[in-house]
């Protein structure tokens, strides 16, 4: 047992030695792994919901509805890795609820988070439709239509990217938000030393498999972006929704591009873990899952959940990985 690490399987060290000596790669999620997004993406969810509710309901709209606990509960379902999806379903729950009371809406959201699964929006809409008529709010939110058609997608991207990057990404100007981009609150937590050490160990076979767009990844990973093998990267915001996590398509494509039959995937959610296990099942490849919990709004709860769901190793900080690999030799 390594001090400070939770190792879940007896054959863990054997797997790491095998990976170190065979054609392999290391793949990373970005948010919650390489970047602390608690003041960027999490804040974007909260402000998106507030702005949408104010736009729809005026001064009677509940303010500060979304809490970190609600966001965490949604992510723990395995179906809400996409934060625009989270913004949508919370807005839908608030608009459909006839009481419009903050406490009541939060209670419904907590109940919903305990009833939905990795199918995400589908199971959440089913839950809400069993309680309310959701047709009119669904029509208003118009999601998952793209930016420019859906108020949810548009507001979220305007808040996150800010006016300049929003126009660069979408080709037209912001209409709801002209303030400071929340992407500027991203905090790069992986060190340059860690990335270069891992690049040497894996002979350049480093890539990201992330829900972000390439534009957002490049912006926030500026000091290290060029170290990654871009041909093996997957930026799922730029892809069709059918390939969103936990669909294993992206991780399988990355491994095939990098000509790797074994891999380490570093993620921070049950959705990441589901993706890895489905990829293993479909390909027969061995993928060791490192679960990162230190940048969650509730690190202890995330650590427990990753452990419960069978992550191979659960660690607080991505920068521990080189030391763990060195000790496995």
**pLDDT at position 114:** 94
Q: How far is CA 10 from CA 263, 279, 286, 291, 307, in A?
A: 18, 22, 15, 17, 14
**pLDDT at position 12:** 55
* DSSP, residue by residue, 185-202: G-EE-S-HHHHHHHHHHT
**pLDDT at position 2:** 40
**pLDDT at position 78:** 85
Half-sphere exposure of 25 (CA within 13 A, CB side): 25
- Say if residue 300 is exposed, middle or buried (CB neighbours under 10 Å; 0-12, 13-18, 19+): exposed
**Domains assigned to the chain:** 6-37+187-328 (3.40.50.1000), 41-184 (no CATH)
pTM for the whole structure = 0.91
pLDDT profile of the chain (329 residues), mean per 10: 46 58 85 97 96 92 93 90 95 92 94 92 96 96 96 98 98 96 98 97 96 97 97 96 93 96 94 96 94 94 93 94 85
Q: Where are the beta strands (DSSP E) in the chain?
A: 6-7, 24-28, 35-36, 187-188, 206-210, 234-235, 262-267, 286-292, 313-315
**pLDDT at position 3:** 43
Q: Are 209 and 252 in contact (CB under 8 A)?
A: no
In the block, which residue shows the tokens 């996150």?
A: 160
| Percent over 90 (pLDDT), the chain | 85
How far is the C-alpha of 285 from the C-alpha of 227, rounded, in Å?
A: 25
Radius of gyration of the chain (CA): 20
Structure tokens given for 282? 């479909």
Q: What are the beta bridge partners of residue 166?
A: none
**pLDDT at position 122:** 95
How far is the C-alpha of 112 from the C-alpha of 323, rounded, in Å?
A: 40
**pLDDT at position 15:** 63
**pLDDT at position 13:** 56
């Amino acid at each position: 047992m390594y001090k400070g690490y939770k190792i879940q399987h007896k054959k863990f060290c054997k797997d790491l030695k095998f990976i170190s000596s065979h054609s392999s790669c290391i793949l990373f999620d970005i948010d919650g792994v390489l970047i602390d997004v608690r003041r960027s993406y999490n804040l974007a969810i909260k402000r998106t919901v507030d702005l949408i509710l104010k736009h729809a309901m005026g001064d009677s709209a509940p303010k500060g509805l979304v809490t970190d606990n609600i966001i965490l509960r949604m992510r723990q379902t395995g179906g809400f890795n996409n934060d625009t999806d989270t913004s949508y379903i919370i807005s839908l729950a608030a608009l459909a609820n006839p009481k419009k009371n903050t406490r009541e809406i939060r209670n419904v959201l907590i109940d919903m988070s305990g009833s939905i699964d990795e199918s995400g929006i589908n199971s959440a809409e089913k839950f809400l439709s069993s309680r309310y008529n959701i047709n009119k709010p669904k029509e208003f939110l118009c999601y998952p239509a793209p930016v420019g058609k859906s108020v949810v997608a548009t507001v979220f991207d305007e808040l996150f990217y800010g006016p300049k990057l929003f126009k660069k990404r979408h080709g037209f100007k912001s209409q709801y938000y002209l303030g400071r981009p929340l992407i500027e609150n991203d905090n790069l937590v992986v060190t340059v030393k860690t990335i270069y050490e891992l690049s040497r160990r894996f002979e350049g076979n480093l890539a990201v498999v992330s829900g972000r767009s390439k534009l957002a990844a490049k912006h926030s990973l500026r000091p290290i972006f060029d170290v990654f093998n871009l041909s093996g990267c997957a930026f799922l915001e730029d892809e069709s929704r059918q390939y969103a996590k936990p669909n294993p398509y992206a991780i399988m494509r990355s491994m095939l591009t990098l000509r790797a039959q074994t891999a380490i995937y570093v993620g921070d959610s049950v959705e990441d873990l589901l993706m890895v296990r489905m990829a293993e099942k479909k390909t027969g490849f061995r993928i060791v899952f490192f679960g990162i919990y230190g940048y969650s709004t509730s690190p202890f709860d995330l650590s427990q959940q990753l452990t419960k769901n069978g992550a191979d190793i659960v660690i607080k900080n991505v920068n521990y990985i080189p030391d763990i690999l060195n000790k496995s030799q």
